[in-house]
Amino acid sequence: MGRLFGTDGVRGVANADLTAELALGLSVAAAHVLAEAGTFEGHRPTAVVGRDPRASGEFLEAAVVAGLASAGVDVLRVGVLPTPAVAYLTGALGADLGVMLSASHNAMPDNGVKFFARGGHKLADELEDRIETVYEQHRTGEPWARPTGAGVGRVTDYAEGFDRYVAHLIAVLPNRLDGLKVVLDEAHGAASRVSPEAFARAGAEVITIGADPDGLNINDGCGSTHLDLLKAAVVEHGADLGIAHDGDADRCLAVDATGAEVDGDQILAVLALAMREAGQLRKDTVVGTVMSNLGFKIAMEREGIQLVQTAVGDRYVLESMKAEGFALGGEQSGHVIVLDHATTGDGTLTGLMLAARVAATGRTLAELAGVMQRLPQLLINVPDVDKSRVGTSPELAAAVAEAERELGSTGRVLLRQSGTEPLVRVMVEAADIDQARAVAERLADVVKSALG
């Protein structure tokens, strides 16, 4: 069996890869593994279960709830809420486990199961591995030990989760948003009610688009992966800014009053300066990834803020933040983690904090985001090569060294192996897009000849 868990839970086409049987079996296995690990010791276990609005989430939620209850876990069913809301409620309610059913920014036919440990933190890799092992053992015939009578789990709808999460978001905001007009694109996803409610309670005038989920339209031409509708709406309504989420609202991208995109690097730059001013940016450090734009690094150096860069993936950003005690980190994609207030990326919180900075300073988002100049970044995927040799080819090393000499301090080269395909990603940044393209194409040719 290939590894079920990826970097963000178990994900696949619902009812094909991710079946009701798999969701139920994983839930039972998770309950048994956490019991083995002593998580449930001395008390009756509780789990928080939430989902995004995908049609498949309805039957998958039923399977997960059935699996947990059959294993003796009481379930608080919070319904359609963002991933970070389920993580927050898992911690706030003292639950032993959280389960979110979502495939985030993926297309509607996909879905996923993501587990949170006590406190709302990502489940440790070794526990995920153990859940897979136990699931497989029982799938192939070994019977489960099942409670009966009063030992079975009870299932309760926890409607208060919505208000409790919104109240948390408002409580951690540094200032109100009175006087701001904001357009919100909810991607017909999990934040379609939460985000407009939070922004309105914080004092903003709110216009919503993409906030009518019907189970089939999630991420469909809207949200953080399709910004054109938001750009047009911000300009049409004369709004101060626009905020776009993905399907489970763990990401946030923004649009300024002119309709220009403000990406995750720019959002991090704005929040880093705001948090340092408030004395909240621990060690004057922000965490990004190796894909963070060079312009972000240059801006942070100029402002006296250190940038720590990790491998690509929010899990690596979070690991670095927790290990070193940093307060802010994230990715270009808009997955921003404010660790004092959230255990995972929270798109609604990020959008609120960005809007709060605009309100507090009286400056436009374009002015604030202008702290960094986004350098042109060109990415070429080179397929059908031996990606394992990317770090050992003398020919390739010489070509990279020559490219770095040519680009100097205002450019950068990054070669990465794909994690899932037989290809190498060639990324080049330069002050001039034509120079970036020329260098990237030259390096792509060397990758083909040296590793083909």
Binding-site residue set for Mg(2+): 104, 246, 248, 250
Residue 267: CB atoms within 10 Å: 26
Q: Report how far residue 122's alpha carbon sits from residue 374's, in angstroms, rounded to the nearest whole number.
A: 31
Q: Are 88 and 198 in contact (CB under 8 A)?
A: no
Distance of alpha carbon 238 from alpha carbon 180, whole angstroms: 11
Cα-based torsion angle of the residue sequence 287, 273, 367, 427 in order, rounded to the nearest 10 degrees: -20
- Separation CA 84–CA 250 (nearest Å): 6
In DSSP terms, which residues pair with 122 in a beta bridge? 116
Q: How far apart are CA 211 and CA 190, in angstroms?
A: 9
Those residues whose C-beta lies under 8 Å from the C-beta of residue 117, and which sit 6 or more positions away, are 39, 97, 98, 123, 124, 127
Residues 6+ away with beta carbon under 8 Å from 333: 224, 251, 253, 264
How far apart (Å, rounded) are the C-alpha atoms in residues 206 and 437?
Answer: 41
Rounded CA gap, 355 and 183, in Å? Answer: 11
Q: Alpha-carbon distance 334 to 345, whole Å?
A: 9
d(CA 250, CA 69): 28
Residue 368 dihedral angles phi and psi, to the nearest 5°: -65, -45
**Residue in 282, 410, 224, 310 with CA at minimum distance from that of residue 7:** 310
**Residues 129 and 29: beta-carbon distance below 8 Å:** no
Quick one: DSSP state of residue 61? H
List, in order, residues 6 or more apart from 11 with CB less than 8 Å away: 18, 103, 106, 110, 111, 112, 113
For 249, the 3-state DSSP assignment is coil
Q: Which amino acid is present at 198?
A: A
Give the residue numbers marked as catalytic. 104
The binding site comprises 104, 246, 248, 250
State both tokens at 172. 């951690």
293-to-288, 290, 397, 432, 443 alpha-carbon distances in Å: 9, 8, 22, 14, 19
